[in-house]
Structure 1
Amino acid sequence: MGAKPIAGAELQSDVKYVPTPPAQPSKFDLGEDVGVPLTNSPTINNPPLPADGPGYEGFSNYLLGALLVGVPWYLARKVGGGFKTTVFFGLITFFPILIAVWFVSSAYSPRMNEKVKLPGRPVEHYLTFKKQEDKLKYSGRNKISMAALAEMYIDGAVDFNGDVLDILEYRHDWAHFGFTWDLFKFIIMGFFRDIVMHTKAHDESQIKPTYDTGNEHYAFFLGPRMIYTSGVISDTTREESLEELQDNKMSVVCEKIELKEGETMLDIGCGWGTLARFASVNYGAKVTGVTIAENQVLWGNDRLRNAGIPESQSKILCMDYRDIENKKYNKITQLEMGEHVGIFKLTTFFRQCYDMLEDDGIMYVQLSGLRQAWQYDDFIWGLYLNKYIFPGADASTPLWNYIRSLEMAGFECKSVDTVGVHYSGTLWRWYRNWLGNQETVEAKFGVRWYRVSFIFSFFLYPVD
């Protein structure tokens, strides 16, 4: 399906890139003993306070499920009702029980690990609030909710007393991770709906506006490679550039799938087609990239043609993954696309991929996940991304669930790598690119959007 030019469809030649600014030294790191060894590598933003937040290693969803079922059953029994009465009470108590459990657990859960010593500085050491009532409410050791902080920063109600990333690295010293009523409102009114829906029309209404914001907008932080997924560090003794990290990653992908000249490759959720171009130029592969965003199609095909790759060899198509022609490919790749598929449709999606692979084919999957332990830092991060950055993206789960879905679809998992530190290094470079383009971004998209995307760069930092 062809793509028509739309607003924001800048091409590579239309974008002026700013080199990634150098890292600035921390103004908050006093060289104090924090109780645990710290990293010291020039290729990542070495965290000064690598603390775990509140949560439970053993928190059981079975307990939550038992309450959701047991309370309605008990109430129905008390009034002499049967199955229909139980269902009725289940419908009216579902959200109150869910809210009560999460609210209490998030407010009173201890830190997962007490090894890291917190500095114990007052909140106002890190943050400056604009409203007098906020100054009084959040002072001394009266910590602010991380969820509330994100909203207040976006609205301009609070400023950081220094570099945003520098201060957010100390978030455990000045923030708590309890759920707020606004967060519950979003979960009930938006997040649950998105989990259930995931129809073509619903996904298109959410995903297309996200990636069709404008190619230049993404170029401001992704840089010349225009890759919106983690790079790979190959040398920990020096600071590799963002472009090096992404080239490393593409080489790793092509080597892992054992890509050979002339083989057919399908890249689902291909973004701006950079991997398709890389595989076509360096491996002589015949690549079909698929994305739902029209701007990405225009960009990707333009770069393929400029690289001398004819359409008969490789091309980028604009379509929903469910509309991909059911033909066989030697290799399939999908990098951080599964999050848009949805938790309940992962296995079906993987089965679709399985049916499109040759019998001796190989698939590469890269996904963002959550830790198995129940940590509220992770949940607030995930809900923020779903609300502002990736609407409808809900498939971030622990690793075991991805493996289970792949195996249920018929795949045998050949190898597994975790790239959290690599992602941290990638985000550090995105963050600095965004800083380097601040004036341009604010002039074109406004201060509010600059702050939304700015704080996003940090919200992915739990991966380190």
Structure 2
Amino acid sequence: MGRNNQSNQSKDANRDIDESVGGTPLEPVPAEVMTWLQETMRASELPLNVSFVFWQGQDFSFMADRETNKKSLKIKINHPGVIGELINAPDLLRAVDLLMDGHIDFSGEIDDLISAFCYFFGKPFAASEDLQTWCRKMPGVDQPALASPDWHKLAVNSPQRDKAVVQYHYDVSNDFYKLWLDPKMLYSCAHFADADDNDLTAAQEAKLDLICRKLQLKKDELFLDIGCGWGALIRWAVKHYGVRAHGITLSKEQLAFNQKWIEAEGLGDRVEVELKDYRELPQTPNYDKISSIGMIEHVGIANYTTYFKNALTALKPGGLFLNHGIALNQIWQPEVSFILKYIFPDAQCPPITTYLQFAKDSGFEIIDVDCWRPHYAKTLRCWAANLDQELEAATAIVGKRIKMWQIYLRFCAQGFENGSSSVYQTLLKRSSDKTWDLPLIRDNWLC
């Protein structure tokens, strides 16, 4: 009697599984799948013990051949079509799609999942013909449910699309970013004192002051920040260096945030923030100093000449322009397609040499190039840890996209840690300014 009940329960469970993938009868997971997973994991040489749990309750464990290994990861495959995706469509972006749609789930460290994804969807072990045949018989996985925004119809890097893309990312919610950024709401690389320093708040303040010192800001100078974010840099420059500041942003949420603190602190006579594109800057030399922190990534290579020439035109003789931006150290890397789809649509981050060449060709002299790669890796790790601590509140704001944000921060951190990504601060002056008004020794200049 007990055996019959168990059999009936098993049939009911299988019926539920069948219905979840479109009513197609499913076969047990064949041994070829287990063999393929084992060979792929062995070839990866990842220091991970990985358990796979399949849609029918079967499981398979791979124990890394390392006596000292204590890391473990459980990957739950909720749809038979995922196996075919792993084998026949090795694309990292697809892995994130499958995860966000619930076809893959996991328990363990997100960094370990990313490492496994990078291997499975980048260089999988060859599958046997029998396994390929089995995969073709299985139902396919539906495409992700996230709809393409209307701005996809607009021309790439046009003013209208740039505005829509910036608002897509930055207008998620000020409250969301408050959960995991530092108190000053800086969404760019911090500058840490040393490798053991994990004080994000102090590191972000150090970054602000270093930028001001590089620009040699002086009282009553007019300072422009292109892509000013939530206003931390212009706020710091006004309070600590006595400048008059002008910030421009394409984010309505950031504009409202800035207007609120400007009014609250009575700085309306010293600070102005506008909803404005860099292409709308006046074609007159109005500014003593200009900065652009983490904004050039949104410009697009096709617009670099316009970007640098507009900055040059807006800069007074003897002025300085500090450009801070991410640069890739290789043409393509695994996280790029994921970030372009889910995080920063249309973003372009060429090698640093591309930035420098456009700046030079546009009429700038390159004064200083400063690599901040390890600083960004630490910044991203701090952000990821902060987000993890506020997971419940963050999920209430962004829903299932929280997985996307957790993966994004760690993807990027790994890119800066392994050297495929970097970030540079480049200090520029007008080539037509022949005199050198900066200190001759860099240490003095930055002190």
Could you say which TM-score interval applies, normalised by the shorter chain? 0.5 to 0.7
Could you say which residue in structure 1 is the equivalent of 2:319?
361
Whether 1:119 aligns to 2:47 is: yes
Residue 137 to residue 294, structure 1, CA distance change in 2 (3 Å) = closer
- One of 356, 370, 375 as aligned partner of 2:328: 370
- Greater mean deviation of Cα atoms: 156-165 or 431-440: 156-165
CA distance in 2, matches of 1:136, 1:202: 37
Q: Aligned pair in 2 of structure 1 residues 299, 156: CA closer, same or farther (>3 Å)?
A: same
Q: Tell me the residue number matched to 2:441.
A: none
Structure 1 residue 305, shift from structure 2 partner: 3.5
Q: Which shifted more, 207-216 or 413-422?
A: 207-216
Question: What corresponds to 1:231 in structure 2?
Answer: 190
- Of residues 407, 414, 419, the one that matches 1:455 is 407
Q: How does 1:159-178 map to 2 (within 5 A)?
A: 159-168=105-114, 175-176=121-122
| 1:416 partnered with 2:369 | yes
1:306 shift after superposition: 3.3
SS at match of 1:197: coil
Letter in 2 for 1:287: A
Q: CA deviation at 1:175?
A: 4.9
Which residue does 1:438 correspond to in 2? 391
SS at match of 1:339: helix
Rg comparison, structure with higher value: 2
Confirm or deny: 8 A CA contact 1:368 1:396 kept in the other structure. yes
Counterpart of 2:47, as a letter, is: P
2:368 corresponds to 1:405: no
| Alignment equivalent of 1:341, drawn from 277, 299, 307 | 299
Matched residues in 1 for 2:46 and 2:403: separation? 27
Query: Could you say which residue in structure 2 is the equivalent of 1:325?
Result: 282
- For residue 298 of structure 1, give the secondary structure of its aligned residue in structure 2: helix
Residues 463, 208 of structure 1: alpha-carbon distance in 2 compared, 3 angstrom cutoff: same
Question: Which structure has the higher relative contact order (CA within 8 Å, separation 6+)?
Answer: 1
Amino acid at match of 2:197: R
Separation (CA, whole Å) in 2 of partners of 1:215 and 1:400: 34
Q: Is the 8 A contact 1:121 1:173 kept in 2?
A: no
Give the aligned partner of residue 384 of structure 1: 338
Deviations 1:333-372 (A, max 9, x none): 001111211111111110000011111000100111111x
In 2, Cα distance between equivalents of 1:353 and 1:138:
47
Quickly say closer, same or farther: Cα 1:237–1:454, change in 2 above 3 A. closer
Q: Distance in 2 between matches of 1:167 and 1:451?
A: 12
Task: Give the Cα–Cα distance (whole angstroms) in 1 for the partners of residues 154 and 222 of structure 2.
Answer: 33
- 8 Å Cα contact 1:127/1:160 also seen in 2: yes
Whichever residue aligns with residue 234 of structure 1, its letter is A
Work out which of the residue numbers 203, 208, 225 in structure 2 matches 1:250: 208
3-state DSSP of counterpart to 1:266: strand
In the TM superposition, what whole-angstrom CA distance separates every residue of 1:18-49 from its partner, at most 9, and x where no partner exists? xxxxxxxxxxxxxxxxxxxxxxxxxxxxxxxx
Q: Which residue identity lines up with residue 281 of structure 1 in the other structure? A: K
Q: Deviations over 1:251-297 (max 9, x none)?
A: 11111111111111000000111111011111111110000112111
Contact 1:291 1:297 in 2 (8 A): yes
- 2:171 maps to what in 1? 212
Distance change (3 Å), C-alpha of 1:338 and 1:221 = same
Aligned residue-pair number: 331
| 2:261 is aligned with 1:303 | yes
Residue 271 of structure 1 is matched in structure 2 by: 229
Relative to its length, the structure with more strand (as a share) is 2
1:120–1:301 Cα change, 3 Å: closer
**8 A contact 2:73–2:109 mirrored in 1:** no
**1:129 CA drift (Å):** 2.4
Percent of residue pairs bearing the same amino acid type: 26
- Asked if structure 2 preserves the Cα contact closer than 8 Å seen for 1:223 and 1:433, the reply is no
After TM superposition, the score normalised by the length of structure 2 is 0.67
The aligned amino acid for 1:312 is: D
Aligned mates of 2:222, 2:313 — CA distance in 1: 15
Match of 1:146 among 92, 97, 100: 92
Is the partner of 1:235 in helix, strand or coil?
coil
1:205-242 Cα deviation digits (max 9, x unpaired): 22223222221122122131211111111132332x22
Match of 1:203 in 2: 162
RMSD: 3.0
Q: Which amino acid aligns with 1:224?
A: P
**Segment of structure 1 superposing worse, 406-415 or 210-219:** 210-219
CA deviation profile, 1:90-129 (whole Å, cap 9, x unmatched): xxxxxxxxxxxxxxxxxxxxxxxx9x96437557353412
Contact 1:143 1:175 in 2 (8 A): yes
| 2:88 aligned with 1:131 | no
